[in-house]
């Protein structure tokens, strides 16, 4: 997929664990892992908003577009 999730980079920067993020965002650790591993097909705006709030960042900090080919 051309959209990469760089959630792990931002979590490392903010020194936040998966457990902490899952508690703050209110989604399961399994779903955080799906996001981190780039297996998610889509992300809801409200989830994105909660993640940005928890990590104090912008959507562009955790999502990046990569040109294919």
Partner 1 sequence: MNQSQLAKWLKFIMSIVAVLATAFFFYMVPAMGRDLRSAYPEFAHLFWPYLIWTWVAAIPCYLALINLWRIYREIARDNSFSRPVSMALRSISRLALFDTLLCFVVSNVYLFSNMLPFQLLIPCFFVEIGGLAISLVAAAVSHWVGKGYVLKEDNALTI
The stretch among 12-20, 26-34, 59-67 that binds partner 1 (CB under 8 A) is: 26-34
Name the token pair of 48: 């994105």
The stretch among 10-18, 42-50, 59-67 that binds partner 1 (CB under 8 A) is: 42-50
Provide the b/e sequence for 3-34 (b: ≥16 CB within 10 Å): eebbbeebbeeeebebeebbeebebeeeebee
Residue 67 binding partner 1, by CB under 8 A? no
Q: In the 8-state DSSP scheme, what is residue 38?
A: T
Residue 16 binding partner 1, by CB under 8 A? no
Q: Which residues contribute to the site for partner 1 (CB under 8 A)?
A: 27, 31, 34-35, 39-44, 47
């Amino acid at each position: 997929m051309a959209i990469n999730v760089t959630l792990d980079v931002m979590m490392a920067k903010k020194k936040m664990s998966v457990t902490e993020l899952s508690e703050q965002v209110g989604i399961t650790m399994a779903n955080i892992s799906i996001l981190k591993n780039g297996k998610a097909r889509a992300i809801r705006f409200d989830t994105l908003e909660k993640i940005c709030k928890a990590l104090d960042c912008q959507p562009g900090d955790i999502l990046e577009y990569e040109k294919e080919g």
